[in-house]
Amino acid sequence: MSTQEQKISAVPPAAAPAAPAAPAAQGPNRRVLVVAAIVALAAIGIGGRMWYRSHYYVETDNAYVAGHVTPVSSRIAGVVTKVLIDDNQLVKEGDVIAELDPFDQGVRVEQIQAQIASAKQQVVQADAQIVQVQAQASAAAAQVAQSQAQLVRANQDAERFGQLYNSQMKAVSKSELDAAVAARASAVADVAARKDSTSAAKAQIESAKSARDVAQAQVGVLQVQLKDAQQQLAYNKILAPVSGRIGKRTIEVGQRVQPGQQLTAIVQENVWLTANFKETQLAELKPGQEVKVSVDALPGKELIGKVDSFSPASGAQFALLPADNATGNFTKIVQRVPVKITFKPEDVKALSGRLVPGMSAIAEVSLKSDAAH
């Protein structure tokens, strides 16, 4: 082998061309599949929760805490001399809130008391007059008896003288007979006069009794007026009609108040929730069902109440100007019906006055809970 051939054979052969690479995998990325699965599960879970809650729960955010707010006003007109309360103060029923100047009512009481004393004195005088007239009537009755006795004697004398003086016998004189007849006539007249006096005395007795009855009736009327005046005097102390907390205080010392003028308000501790549900949500609601209440002012605190009662009409019916649906451009609107939801007193008390009327809340009624029968 020649040297040139050896060189040629010593050269290594060229590398064969590489085989074409295998095509890349064409399936979806595993991460995308995981995300899609999570989204699908979340959608199913949310949809299932929405379906479950729509079938077993009814909820509204149109709910407000309500309570008894008692206005306090004056029964009489007067000037405020003392104010014994402060803003947001707790008071009990019967506590004195304020006092008015009692001078005018005090004078009225004294005036009526004096009139009563005068009327009672008139009654005493009428009683004394009755006794006096009764004595006069008794004396007149005795005088009638005396006059009647004298009349009997005068009759006898006249008859006797008449028998002694006639056409056959003249035992007495004509003048004596005339005197006897005149005495009899005088006795008759005296008896009639005495009887008239007795009748007059009896009439005076009845008149005196009537005067006494009028005086006694006047005493009764004045005593009623005195009771009213004393009550008006007591109204100078303005009392708390109920127990609760003072709110909206507008009374000040020196202020002149009028009857019926509101001076403050007392909010009682007992509160409840008025939840305005749509009329389409009422089908499954029943008294006694459990209600979960979330109050906006008390985040994180969930109250448990129960359905108490339903309003006898929708809220629109109690509006100042109820809608008139008998028109040509009628549009149907879903109405709201107030539902009263009550709480346990101990739960409300545990909040220490933080749950007050007017607060917004969210009410969720559990349709699975047993209703009260």
Domain ranges of the chain: 55-101+244-366, 103-234
Cα separation, 259 vs 121, in Å, equals: 37
Cα separation, 62 vs 191, in Å, equals: 101
Cα separation, 60 vs 365, in Å, equals: 9
100 contacts 74 by C-beta, under 8 angstroms = yes
Structurally, at CATH architecture level, domain 103-234 sits in Orthogonal Bundle (1.10)
280 contacts 360 by C-beta, under 8 angstroms = no
pLDDT tens sequence across 209-224: 888 888 889 999 999 9
pLDDT score of 71: 95
246 contacts 132 by C-beta, under 8 angstroms = no
pLDDT score of 373: 44
pLDDT score of 6: 46
Ranges of residues in the chain with a pLDDT under 50 are 1-12, 14-26, 372-373
Q: What DSSP element (H or E) covers 308?
A: strand 302-310
pLDDT score of 161: 64
The residue length of the chain stands at 373
pLDDT score of 26: 47
pLDDT score of 191: 74
pLDDT score of 169: 65
Which pair of structure tokens corresponds to residue 253? Answer: 């010392």
First to last CA, the chain: 121
Taking Cα atoms as reference points, which of 14, 31, 227, 219 lies closest to residue 116?
Answer: 219
pLDDT tens sequence across 263-309: 999 999 899 999 999 999 998 899 999 999 999 999 888 899 999 99
Q: Which CATH class is domain 55-101+244-366?
A: mainly beta
pLDDT score of 5: 46
Cα separation, 372 vs 296, in Å, equals: 28
Its pTM surpasses 0.85: no
Cα separation, 97 vs 251, in Å, equals: 10
Taking Cα atoms as reference points, which of 245, 252, 274, 277 lies closest to residue 361?
Answer: 274
pLDDT score of 322: 76
pLDDT score of 62: 94
Residues in CB range of 35: below 8 A, 6 or more apart: none
Cα separation, 205 vs 134, in Å, equals: 6
Hey, how many other C-beta atoms are within 10 angstroms of the C-beta on 214? Answer: 14
